[in-house]
A and B are shown apart, each in its own frame.
Chain A
Amino acid sequence: MKLEDTFEETYTALSANKVRSGLTMLGIIIGISSVIALVSVGQGAQNSISSNISSLGSNLIEVLPGAARTTGSFGVSAGRGTAKSLLQGDADAIATGVQNVVAVASEVSGRYQVTAKGTNTNTTVIGTTSQYPQIRNLNIAEGTFITDGQNLSLAKVAVLGPTAAADLFGTDTDPLGQTIRIKNVSFTVVGVATAKGGTGFNNPDTTVYIPATSAERFLAGSQYLSTIDVQATDAPSMAQAQVDITALLLQRHNIADASLADFNILNQNDLLATVSSIAQTFTILLGAVAGISLLVGGIGIMNMMLTTVTERTREIGLRKAIGARRRDISLQFLTEAVALTLIGGIIGITLGMLISFGISYFGILQTSVSLQAILLAFGVSAAIGITFGYYPARRAANLNPIEALRYE
């Protein structure tokens, strides 16, 4: 039997029972389209989380102070980040002594009441150095960021986040050149940053930036840093840079045992990997739920094919009597099952893509349909056709022609 004839027989058989074929196909359509749509939602969520993390800075390594310990063999830990262990010297040593480091910025941060003429806000004030914007992906809308010179001279200048600027000066006044007071010290506004949007607990848009040295002298009253931000040249060199920084700081702090280190290092890649793996688990979960509906659709195909074989027993008997080989019969029924799933698969893929475009279009989430997901869905629908069509087809092929012809 020629392939072309097989297709023609399939078409005749499927169109003879349009409603039944359509309903069976609907199972596959729903299964495939939900796989495509839900996986695209999962991947969209994954992408949006990754890009949020990237906006914190690129190839960022953060060095934080460790837990403060009281001295003695029964030292009490006071929690991470409480130690006063990082100095500007550490930051400078990292900048000069560690390879694969592009930029280093110190941070001395605290929360203070900030006032201007008749207004005030309570916000994070970060004392930092000139390379901070590059490391943290911060852009300056007006004026300039803090320079190295201002750091050397302990200048009383400030750069405002856009929300902080609006809180203090409203939207009508140009904040440049105006004066703000932090802890009763006057600072002149020299720049305003562009909006970045919040990432979790600290919102860069409300932050006020001043020189690190000024923060140490006028606000914190000590020379300890709260963070050292380090930017590595690229993602692959981050792990090595982290190792090198650890070694350098252990040496500088005279600590022999790495487990007693008085600082912690956070690697942005680790964070990204953790969050991505959570998002991936979420995608797999969504895919699995959709996969179950696909499986149910496949069983629907098998059910229909078994009914068809029973219904057409006499026809199968006749076909065998006039010389159809076992292969001809099994191929005919297998083609019917595969045709149902493939057509259902194509419609399902189209529908799934429409749904995911709809989700993007209405701004719920920026979804992304990957070619991989489409190919997978296509492969799965073909596999379902073959798997669930095989048993009914084999049953049809193995019918005894004499008994099949007598079947009532």
Chain B
Amino acid sequence: MIEIKDITKTYGMGDTAFQALRGVSFTIKDGEFVAIMGPSGSGKSTLMHMLGCLDTPTSGTYILDGKDVSTLSDEALADIRRDKIGFVFQSFNLLPRTTVLRNVMLPLIYADVEKAERHTRAAAALSASGLPESHFLHKSNELSGGQIQRVAIARSLVNDPSLILADEPTGNLDTKTGEIVLGTFQKLNTEHGRTVILITHEPNVAEHAERIITLRDGLVVSDSKAHTRRHAKHHAEMNTS
């Protein structure tokens, strides 16, 4: 459960101050699939940093699972990210020359999970994101773009987060591979009940979510259900077709 109220973020001071967010409020319930959309400069990246606890707002409150995280210290935010948030980035950000399995296990190392359990949980997350088991011990730079992004999705899942934050997850992929990745998110949302927040500037990507929040100049301009929701085929269907 995410509740944000009157969030503002100002960069810089005095005359050069720039207000990236100017009072944003919304609530996202557990199990929702929300897209946050807007052109560049609309404040969606800043909002993503707030939602992902990478940064704190200048004013306003952010309550994540009943806890106010808007005034926490950097170190406390690191703990929140570790326990409650899974990130998927446009540029994947896997460790190079490292096996798929180790990449997925990385968040568990910081959570002090036992070695045997790390392995089981990483394998489960990889299966949920649709990477075949034969690829588990491949090095991350030996995989295709779509496979890499699914490893990244598995990594975001592995710590059993309250929300998955995907920042332009299809930005570096071709349309067809992007579809598969979006399908994976839809499957995680519908079948596993994961809360997914998708940040994108492309309307046809946003339409894969069930709710779309549109930002412009640091304000929410619309917040509604997707009119024509697209259903992407996820990997399992792709493989059989």
Q: Which residues of A contact B (CB under 8 A)?
A: 1-2, 5, 9, 12, 16, 314-315, 317-326, 328, 401-402, 405
Contact = CB atoms under 8 A, between A and B. Distances in A.
Contacts of B79: 323, 325
A321 B111 CA distance: 13
B74 interface: yes
A315 B78 contact: no
Interface in B90-143: 91, 93, 95, 97-98, 106-107, 109-112
Nearest to B84: A323
A18 to B, nearest CB: 12
Contact of B74 (A1, A2, A5, A326): A326
Nearest to B113: A2
A323 B83 contact: yes
B93 to A, nearest CB: 4
Given A322-B82, A322-B87, A323-B82, A2 B106 contact: no
A1 B54 contact: no
A315 B95 CA distance: 7
A314 B91 CA distance: 10
8 contacts: A5-B109, A321-B81, A323-B78, A323-B82, A324-B82, A402-B49, A402-B54, A402-B55
Among B81, B106, B109, B112, residue most surrounded by chain A Cβ atoms (within 10 Å)? B109
B97 A323 contact: no
Contacts of B52: 321
B112 A321 contact: no
Contact of A401 (B54, B82, B83, B111): B54
B78 A324 contact: yes
A251 B27 CA distance: 109
Given A322-B81, A322-B82, A323-B83, A405 B112 contact: no
Nearest to A9: B109
Nearest to B45: A402
Interface in B1-28: none
A218 B55 CA distance: 106
Nearest to A314: B93
Given A315-B95, A322-B87, A324-B78, A1 B109 contact: yes
Residues of B in contact with A, size category: 20 to 34
Contacts of B98: 12
A394 to B, nearest CB: 14
A401 B89 CA distance: 13
Given A2-B112, A328-B110, A405-B89, A321 B54 contact: yes
Interface of B: 49, 52, 54-55, 74-75, 78-79, 81-83, 87, 89, 91, 93, 95, 97-98, 106-107, 109-112, 155, 159
Contacts of A321: 52, 54, 81, 87
Contacts of B159: 322-323
6 closest A-B pairs by CB: A323-B82, A322-B107, A318-B93, A323-B81, A323-B110, A5-B109
Contact of B75 (A9, A322, A326, A401): A326
Contacts of A324: 78, 82, 110
Contact of B78 (A314, A320, A402, A405): A320
A285 to B, nearest CB: 46
B173 to A, nearest CB: 18
Given A401-B54, A402-B54, A402-B55, A322 B110 contact: yes
Contacts of B81: 320-323
Contact of A325 (B75, B95, B97, B106): B75
Nearest to B107: A322
Contacts of B82: 322-324
Contacts of B54: 321, 401-402
A19 to B, nearest CB: 15
Contacts of A323: 78-79, 81-83, 107, 110-111, 159
Contacts of B49: 402
A61 to B, nearest CB: 71
Contacts of A402: 49, 54-55
A318 B98 CA distance: 14
Nearest to A328: B110
Nearest to B94: A318
Given A1-B109, A319-B110, A402-B54, 4 more contacts: A1-B110, A2-B109, A322-B155, A323-B111
Nearest to A320: B78
A320 B49 CA distance: 13
Among A2, A5, A321, A401, residue most surrounded by chain B Cβ atoms (within 10 Å)? A321
Nearest to B93: A318
A354 B78 CA distance: 49
Contact of A16 (B75, B97, B111, B112): B97
Contacts of B83: 323
Nearest to A327: B75
B216 to A, nearest CB: 22
Among A1, A315, A323, residue most surrounded by chain B Cβ atoms (within 10 Å)? A323
